[in-house]
């Protein structure tokens, strides 16, 4: 059981985030994820090599060095190949994504759900705002057209600011956890303590960085931000209005993390076309979803539907609020 103490809940209430040690079992949850993603990366390398886009499949390298070499030689991040979600536009029938059993098992980890229950209650929905982030050391990455590394620090934002307006009042909780140890130099999360007590701030598009939404820095105290280094098995949870971003990876190792979200069942997810599921229910155990193959099929069906929506600049379906601050 990982139910939180009164002191921990008070800390979360005051500061809007809470780091917790040894919540996720590395052997049961994290190591299977690593094994799955080795297969994903292997498939990507062979695909790129067959198309003449990389000079080797780099099979002799570990995961971090291998993905770094792929990014160096292609000049691309290939984030969608590893992610367990879909883009908001121009989705095709064959858009890559990964919905493996090990990822699903992390979403329904009992210790993790105990933490979530302590904060949002026992009727828990796995909200389909979810990502894997793989960030190699910046010094080894090529630069994009904007002169910045193709993966850099994450700009400050609030999670409530990057979903649709109808989810603004959803009691959405973010869970962020690393796959490997993530000290400060590896580029962990950074948060502004207490910022959840304020209002939802304006979020704007940064046209110098593709698809980046951020809070203008004059709207909050960036000097108050603190890093949240974590070890393998640790997590940090935070409020959907907590201002946060991430540091640059200035280490020698890849920074690899998941950010997943939960809300009380029945509340708006802010991603209505994407499929979520009941992760826990104390009042209706039969409603709890535990089928990773069906979960994958749900996303494949969504990919098919999305291949006919939001194509070629059209906006048939919204995924976030208006963010243009020009």
Strands 244-246 and 189-191: antiparallel
Distance in Å from the first CA to the final CA of the chain: 49
pLDDT in tens, 82-91: 999 999 999 9
Retrieve residue 124's tokens: 């828990």
Q: Which of 243, 272, 287, 238 is nearest to 12 (CA)?
A: 238
pLDDT in tens, 165-190: 889 899 999 999 999 999 999 999 99
Percent of the chain with pLDDT over 70: 95
Largest CA-CA distance found in the chain, in angstroms, rounded: 57
The pLDDT value given to residue 162 = 87
The pLDDT value given to residue 313 = 77
The pLDDT value given to residue 261 = 98
Is the distance from CB of 3 to CB of 118 less than 8 angstroms? yes
pLDDT in tens, 53-75: 999 999 999 999 999 999 999 99
With a cut of 90, say whether residue 209 has pLDDT above it: no
The pLDDT value given to residue 325 = 65
The pLDDT value given to residue 316 = 72
- Comparing 25-34, 94-103, 161-170, which segment has the lowest mean pLDDT? 161-170
pTM of the model: 0.95
What is 264-313 written as a DSSP string? ETTS--S-TTS--EEEE-SS-GGG----HHHHHHHHHHHHHHHTTSS-TT
Q: What are phi and psi of 61, to 5 degrees?
A: -100, 155
Q: Which of 136, 143, 148 is nearest to 250 (CA)?
A: 136
Is the distance from CB of 81 to CB of 103 less than 8 angstroms? no
The pLDDT value given to residue 321 = 66
Percent of the chain with pLDDT over 90: 84
The pLDDT value given to residue 305 = 95
With a cut of 60, say whether residue 324 has pLDDT above it: no
Helices (H), the chain: 6-15, 31-50, 63-74, 79-82, 101-107, 110-120, 292-306
Domains in the chain, CATH or no CATH each: 6-306 (2.60.120.620)
**Burial class of 194 by CB neighbour count within 10 A (0 to 12, 13 to 18, 19+):** middle
């Amino acid at each position: 059981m990982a139910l939180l103490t009164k002191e921990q809940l008070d800390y979360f209430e005051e500061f809007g985030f809470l780091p917790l040690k040894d919540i996720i079992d590395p052997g049961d949850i994290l190591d299977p994820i690593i094994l799955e993603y080795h297969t994903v990366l292997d498939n990507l390398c062979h695909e790129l090599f067959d198309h003449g886009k990389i000079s080797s499949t780099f099979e002799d390298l570990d995961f971090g060095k291998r993905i770094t070499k792929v990014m160096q030689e292609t000049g691309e991040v290939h984030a969608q190949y590893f992610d367990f979600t879909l883009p908001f536009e121009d989705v095709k029938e064959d858009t890559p994504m990964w919905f493996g059993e090990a990822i699903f098992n992390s979403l329904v980890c009992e210790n993790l759900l105990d933490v979530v229950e302590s904060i949002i209650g026992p009727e828990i929905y796995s909200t389909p705002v979810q990502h894997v982030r793989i960030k190699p050391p910046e010094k080894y990455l090529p630069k994009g057209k904007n002169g910045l590394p193709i993966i850099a620090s994450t700009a400050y934002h609030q999670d409530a600011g990057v979903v649709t307006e109808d989810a603004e009042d959803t009691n959405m909780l973010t869970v962020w956890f690393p796959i490997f140890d993530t000290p400060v130099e590896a580029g962990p999360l950074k948060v502004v303590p207490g910022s959840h007590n304020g209002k939802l701030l304006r979020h704007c598009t940064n046209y110098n960085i593709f698809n980046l939404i951020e809070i203008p820095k004059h709207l909050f105290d960036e000097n108050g931000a603190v890093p949240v280094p974590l070890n393998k098995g640790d997590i940090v949870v935070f409020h959907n209005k907590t201002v946060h971003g991430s540091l640059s990876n200035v280490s020698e190792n890849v920074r690899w993390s998941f950010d997943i979200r939960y809300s009380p069942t029945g509340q708006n997810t802010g991603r209505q076309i994407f499929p979520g599921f009941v992760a826990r229910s104390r009042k209706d155990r039969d409603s709890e979803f535990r089928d990773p193959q069906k979960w994958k099929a749900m996303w494949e069906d969504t990919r098919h539907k999305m291949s006919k929506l939001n194509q070629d600049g059209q906006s048939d379906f919204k995924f976030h609020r208006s963010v243009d601050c020009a």
